[in-house]
Amino acid sequence: MSFETTSLVVNLLGIVLGIFFLFAGARKLYGWEWAKNSYLKHHPLWVYYVSAVVEVVSGIGLILPPLRFAAALLQLLLILCVSIHPWHHVEVKSVLPAVITTFLLLLLLWLTRP
């Protein structure tokens, strides 16, 4: 890939992921019952709100090029921390977005590595 193409992919990926996480975090903060119920199956309520704030912060960071690498790391850390719990009945439709965004965050992390 040429430098221009890589730069375009990184910017597009950062902006799309940033908007996604910013929207998801804001939606959690303003009452997303499905997400809250999903979190409460495995975590206390404070984890739900902390994850919402981290998603808003990392979403903003993913949009801004100088903060992109750190924001991707922060979001991956959140995904890792929230995912560490006993896996009981897991629905594929609820895991698929997490798998896709994790893959895209890892790709962005690799493309923006210092």
Task: Note the pLDDT tens digit of each residue in 21-70.
Answer: 999 999 999 988 988 888 888 888 999 999 999 999 999 999 999 999 99
pLDDT attached to residue 113: 85
pLDDT attached to residue 1: 62
| Domain total of the chain | 1
What is the percentage of the chain residues whose pLDDT exceeds 70?
90
Tell me how far CA of residue 32 lies from CA of 18, 43, 61, 72, in angstroms.
19, 16, 23, 23
Q: Which residue has the higher pLDDT, 43 or 76?
A: 76
Q: Which domain holds residue 55?
A: 3-111
Question: Do residues 77 and 102 make contact, with C-beta atoms less than 8 angstroms apart?
Answer: no
Question: Do residues 67 and 26 make contact, with C-beta atoms less than 8 angstroms apart?
Answer: no
pLDDT attached to residue 63: 96
pTM for this prediction: 0.85
